[in-house]
């Protein structure tokens, strides 16, 4: 009897955490250098990911380091494009092309690790 109760508690706790994760707000900063074709492609790829997987709970800031070098310095950006996930914790950085959707979803904790 005790074992069944413990199992039920674990399931309930998992469901609570899942609902909490579904409501969490994501704060993302994408650092680019100018509005090059690569930058535009990266921005569009990330917007597609946000609209499909984080609809209504994503704050995406696109920062051109030519126009705002202070933010890049403060976040220790050394290459572009760089995606910085500020919230939810832990903070994560993705450097380079943002075209591998599966990799980004895994890094944002939106897809379970296998």
pLDDT, tens digit, 9 for 90 and up, residues 12-67: 775 665 565 567 899 999 999 999 999 999 999 999 999 999 999 999 999 999 99
Q: Which of 80, 74, 99, 72 is nearest to 34 (CA)?
A: 80
Can you give the pLDDT at residue 52? 94
Lowest mean pLDDT among 43-47, 54-58, 88-92, 106-110: 106-110
Half-sphere exposure of residue 58, counting CA atoms within 13 Å on the CB side? 20
Can you give the pLDDT at residue 41? 93
Identify whether the C-beta of residue 83 lies closer than 8 Å to the C-beta of residue 75: no
pTM exceeds cut of 0.85: no
Dihedral sign, CA of 70, 62, 38, 57?
positive
d(CA 38, CA 41) in angstroms, rounded, equals 5
Residues paired with 26 in a beta bridge: 58
On whether the 25-107 domain is CATH 3.40.50.12170, my answer is no
């Amino acid at each position: 009897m005790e074992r069944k109760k413990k199992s039920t508690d674990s399931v309930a706790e998992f469901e609570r955490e899942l609902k909490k994760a579904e409501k969490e707000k994501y704060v993302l900063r994408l650092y680019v250098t100018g509005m090059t074709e690569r930058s535009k492609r990266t921005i569009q790829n990330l917007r597609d990911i946000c609209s499909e997987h984080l609809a209504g709970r994503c704050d995406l800031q696109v920062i051109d380091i030519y126009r705002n070098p202070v933010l890049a310095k403060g976040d220790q950006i050394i290459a572009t494009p760089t995606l910085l996930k500020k919230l939810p914790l832990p903070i994560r950085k993705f450097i380079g092309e943002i075209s591998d959707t599966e990799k980004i979803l895994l890094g944002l904790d939106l897809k379970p690790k296998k």
